[in-house]
């Protein structure tokens, strides 16, 4: 469901997630029209952490679809654009989260490519420019930052990494850099928060990348 800044309800858009061997699932999200597609992508990974561990997750995209079109004929959304820019109407009945066939058929993955990123830890007043492999996970980047600056991960804290343009949406610790659509010299923000009683640390606790980053 899309809501304007004034709280006025816009035409509903149901996010339909479908992935191989997992069946089909329907999710109803409430988001602002100014929300970027990348944020919706991250929220889906938050709701279904098993997706982030798929080897083919970098082939997944969000598609606009109506009742008369198939996934193969649907429009793949640009993750850097906002939902408002697509002028969603009532004819758009859902978004489909599925592998992009063109990407699946590509035979030259950029596994050896690197990217320069600035990792900032504002609470520690520290920053470091790192040359990172695009296949690295978010959890591995946190570990690399800690190692390069000779830091000690705070006890009973969950470390999370955010893109500077989305400070309220933590990146999933198992997600690889090549799936985040970053530009060279973009900034990533490292923040930490206390572990909630009962072990409720959200999806920052899942996978080796998240636990290693969280200390």
**What are the tens digits of pLDDT across the range 11-68?**
434 343 443 334 556 667 777 777 888 888 888 888 777 777 777 777 778 877 655 4
Residues 97 and 124 in one domain: no
Higher model confidence: residue 108 or residue 149?
A: 149
> Residue 138's pLDDT is what?
93
Residues 84 and 167 in one domain: no
pLDDT tens for residues 153-190?
A: 777 888 999 988 888 889 998 888 888 888 888 899 99
pTM of the shown model: 0.46
Instruction: Identify the DSSP state of 137.
Output: B
Angle made by CA atoms 132, 138, 144, in degrees to the nearest 5 = 55
In a domain, 5, yes or no: no
* Angle, helix 138-148 to helix 207-214, in steps of 10 degrees: 30
Q: Which domain holds residue 38?
A: 14-104
| Three-class SS state of 63 | strand
Contact (Cβ atoms closer than 8 angstroms) between residue 172 and residue 136? no
Residues 39 and 92 in one domain: yes
Contact (Cβ atoms closer than 8 angstroms) between residue 99 and residue 63? no
Residues 124 and 166 in one domain: yes
CATH of the domain at 72: 3.10.20.90
Between the two ends of the chain, the Cα-to-Cα distance in Å is 37
In a domain, 78, yes or no: yes
Residues 129 and 210 in one domain: yes
Instruction: Look at the chain and report how many structural domains it folds into.
Output: 2
């Amino acid at each position: 469901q899309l809501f304007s800044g004034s709280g006025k309800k816009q035409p509903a858009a149901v996010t339909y997630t479908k992935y191989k061997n997992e069946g089909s699932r329907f999710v109803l999200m409430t988001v602002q029209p100014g929300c970027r597609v990348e944020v919706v992508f991250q929220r889906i990974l938050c709701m279904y952490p098993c997706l982030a561990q798929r080897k083919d997750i970098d082939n997944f995209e969000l598609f606009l679809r109506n009742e008369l079109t198939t996934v193969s004929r649907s429009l793949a959304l640009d993750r850097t654009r906002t939902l408002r820019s697509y002028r969603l109407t009532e004819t758009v009945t859902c978004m489909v989260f599925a592998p992009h066939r063109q990407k699946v058929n590509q035979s030259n993955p950029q596994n050896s490519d690197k990217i320069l990123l600035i990792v900032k830890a504002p609470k520690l007043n520290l920053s470091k420019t790192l040359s990172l492999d695009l296949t690295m996970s978010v959890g591995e980047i946190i570990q690399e930052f800690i190692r390069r600056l000779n830091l000690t991960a705070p006890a009973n804290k969950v470390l999370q990494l955010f893109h500077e343009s989305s400070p309220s949406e933590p990146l999933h610790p198992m997600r690889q850099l090549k799936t985040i659509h970053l530009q060279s010299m973009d900034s990533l923000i490292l923040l930490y928060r206390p572990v909630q009683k009962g072990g409720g640390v959200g999806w920052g606790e899942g996978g080796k990348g998240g636990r290693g980053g969280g200390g």
